[in-house]
Structure 1
Amino acid sequence: MARTRPPPAVLHTPGFAHYALSWSPFHTTRLALASSANFGLVGNGRLHIVSVNPGPNGTHHTALDKYYETQDGLFDIAWSEIHENQLVTASGDGSIRLWDVMLNDLPIRAWQEHTREVFSVDWSNIKKDTFASSSWDGLVKLWLPERPRSVLTMQAHHSCVYQALFSPYQPDVLATCSTDGTVRIFDLRVKSFAPHPGGGTNTNFATPLNAASLTIPASNTEVLSIDWNKYRPFVLASAGVDKMAKVWDCRMIKMGEVGQVGGQCETQLLGHEYAIRKIQWSPHRPDLLATASYDMTCRVWTTAPNIGPQLLYIHDPHTEFVVACGWSLYEDGLLASCSWDGRLNVFRP
C-alpha cells in the first residue's frame, strides 16, 4: 500500500509577497522570511520570524513569532553565523540592515552603500564574521557586522548581480551570477584583493575591484541563482531564465589565475515551464537539489550517477510565482518553499 504524504504546513501572510527564506543555523525549528508589498514593485517590506514544529504522523505546523516592518521591500535574508539571534536583510532601496530578533522594533545597524536594489546577502559559514551583498548596481560588497562601512567592493559584473555566494570549502572563494549570463568565481587571495601592508583594505565603495578567477558562460540569458554543492568541492549549480538547472564542474580550473574562462557542464535538468528563480543543494545528500520557478512549482531532482539525472517530485499548491526554496539544516528531507501568493509551505518531498 502506498504511503499517504502528509499535507504541507502553510503560513499565509496576506498583502506581502515572499521573496526569500532562510533556516536558522542555530535553532532547529526557526526560519525567516523576507517579503514585500505589491510584489516588490512599490511599498514597504516585512521581515517574518517563523517557527516550524513537528506534529503527529510526520506533519509539521507553522507559527508566526514576530515581524518587523521596513520602509522598502525586502529581497533576501541571511542568518548570522556567530550570533544566534541576528540576521541581515537586503532591501529594494539599496540598504542592508542587521536585526536582533530579541528586540522588538528597529534594526541594530544599517548600511547604505549600494546605489540600486540589493538582491542577495550571504553569510560565510567559514569566515563567520563576514557576509556578502550583491546588487543591481553590479557590485558585490563584503561586510563585518561591527564595521560602519564595507571592507571590500568588487565590480563583479557590469550588470545586475542576482546572487553572491561564499564557497562552503574555501573561505576566500566567492561565486556570483548575473544578467549577463555568466557565473564568475572570485578568489580573494589574489594580489588585487590583499590588504595593504600598512593595514586596512585597498578598496572602498568608490574604488571597486574586478578580478574574476574564473568566468563560466552558463547561459545565453540571465542566470538568476547559484549554489555550491556541500559535498563536492568546486561543483556548483546554476539556474535562470533558460528554464534549465545546470551542474558545473570547476575543478579542472586552477584557482587564482585571473581571466580563466571555462567550467564543464556535467548535468542539465529540464522540466520547468518558466524561469527558475532559486536553486539549492541539499545539506544532507550530495546528489539532491531543489528548484523554485515562475511556473508556480518547486521541484526536487537527483543527479545520482547510478540512475542519472531525474525529476523526483513536483510541489504545486502555490498559486503565484515560487521564488525561493530552502532545505532544513537539521531535519533531513524537510523542504520549505515561498511564493508571491504570500504563502510559506513546509513539506517532505
Structure 2
Amino acid sequence: TAWSPHSPSILSSVSSDSHCRIFDLRTPASSSNHLVALIPIHGPPPTLGGPPNPMQRTMPPAEALTHDWNKYRSTVLATAGVDTVIRSFDVRNPRGGPIAMLEGHKYAVRKIAWSPHLSDVLLSASYDMTCRVWSDGTNNTNTHPGMATGGGSQIGQMDRHTEFCTGVDWCLFGSEGWCASVAWDERLLVWDVRSHMGPQAHGQ
C-alpha cells in the first residue's frame, strides 16, 4: 500500500491479480469499500495513430510487487513486479493504459521510488542484482512514435550488490542524488545516483 503524498484521504495498493486499486476515504464506506479506481497494469499503452507501436501489446497478467506515487504530479503513479516492466499511469484515466513503459531489468522488480527532486526520475531495485535510474520521458520532447507520451528510458545503473536487490529509497536532504539500497547480500549501500548516470541525463 501507499498513501498519496498529495492528499490525506487517497491511498493505493497493488496485488498478485495485476491490478492497482485507488481508494478515497472521503467516499462512503458502503461504496465498494472506498474503491474509486481499478487500473489493469497489463494493458497496452495508448497511441496517437501512425505506424504500429511495438510496445502496444497487452501483457499477460503478472504479480505486481511495488508501486509509488509521483511526488510532483498528483495523479501519476508507477508500478512494477514479476514481469520486470515498470509502468506509469495517470489515475484519472484508469483504463487508458500506461503512459510510459520502462523495460530493461532481467528479473522481477522488487521496489521502485520516484525522486523527491526531479519529476520524471525514479529508481528501481530488482532481483537481477541491479538498481537502475529511469526517466519516464515526460521531460523529453522526442516521444516514442505512436505513443501518447514519452516512452521513457534508462539513464543509469548501479550494480555493486551481489544478491537480489530488495529495497531502494532517496534521501530527502542534502544533495539531490543521494540514495540507499539493500539486498540479500546483507549490505546497505549509500550512493550518488549522478555518478551512475550517463552524460546525457539532465545535463550531467
If the length of structure 2 is used for normalisation, what is the TM-score? 0.76
Classify the secondary structure of the residue corresponding to 1:265: coil
Deviating above 2 A after TM superposition, structure 1's stretches of 4 or more consecutive aligned residues are 261-264
- Give the partner amino acid of 2:118: R
Partner of 2:162: 319
> What amino acid is the match of 2:7?
Q
2:165 aligned with 1:293, yes or no? no
- Residue of structure 2 aligned with 1:226, choices 67, 86, 95: 67
Alignment of 1:215 with 2:38, yes or no, is: yes
Instruction: Determine if the alignment matches structure 1 residue 187 to structure 2 residue 21.
Output: no
CA contact (8 A) 1:230 1:283 kept: yes
User: Which letter does structure 2 place at the counterpart of 1:267?
Assistant: A
| Residue in structure 2 matched with residue 174 of structure 1 by the alignment | 11
Question: What is the distance in 2 between the residues matched to 1:347 and 1:286?
Answer: 20
Write the distance in 1 (CA, Å) between the matches of 2:14 and 2:91.
15
Query: Distance in 2 between the 1:227 and 1:240 partners?
Result: 12
Query: What's the Cα RMSD here?
Result: 1.7
Q: Percent identity?
A: 45
Decide which structure has the larger Cα Rg and report it: 1
Deviation at 1:321, TM superposition (A): 0.4
CA–CA separation in structure 1 for the residues paired with 2:75 and 2:102: 19
2:29 aligned counterpart, secondary structure: helix
Post-superposition CA distance 1:249-306 (Å, at most 9, x none): 1124xxxxxxxx6253110000000000001100011000000000000000112332
Rounded to whole Å, the distance in 2 between the matches of 1:213 and 1:281 is 23
User: What SS is found at the alignment partner of 2:133?
Assistant: strand
Instruction: For 2:27, give the aligned amino acid.
Output: V
The AA in structure 1 aligned to 2:35 is A
1:336 to 166, 173, 180: 180
Partner of 2:48: none
**3-state DSSP of counterpart to 2:99:** strand
Higher strand share: 1
Structure 1 match to 2:99:
266
SS at match of 1:251: coil
Query: What is the Cα deviation at residue 193 of structure 1?
Result: 6.7
Q: How much does 1:319 deviate?
A: 0.8
Instruction: Give 3-state SS (helix, strand or coil) of 1:210's partner.
Output: helix
Distance in 2 of aligned mates of 1:346 and 1:245: 23
Contact 1:250–1:263 (8 Å) recurs in 2: no
CA distances 1:185-229 after superposition (whole Å, capped 9, x unpaired)? 0011111179xxxxxxxxxxxxxx734110011131100000000
- Which of 89, 94, 111 is matched with 1:278 structurally? 111
- What TM-score results when the alignment is normalised by the length of structure 1? 0.45
Task: Please give the per-residue CA displacement for 1:221-250, whole angstroms capped at 9, x wherever unaligned.
Answer: 100000000000110000000100001011
Matched residues, number: 164
Match of 1:23 in 2: none
CA distance in 1, matches of 2:66, 2:119: 18
User: How much has 1:343 moved relative to structure 2?
Assistant: 0.3
1:314 to partner: Cα distance: 1.0
Match of 2:166, SS? strand
Q: Which runs of 5+ in 1 are unaligned?
A: 1-163, 195-208, 253-260
Amino acid at match of 1:171: P
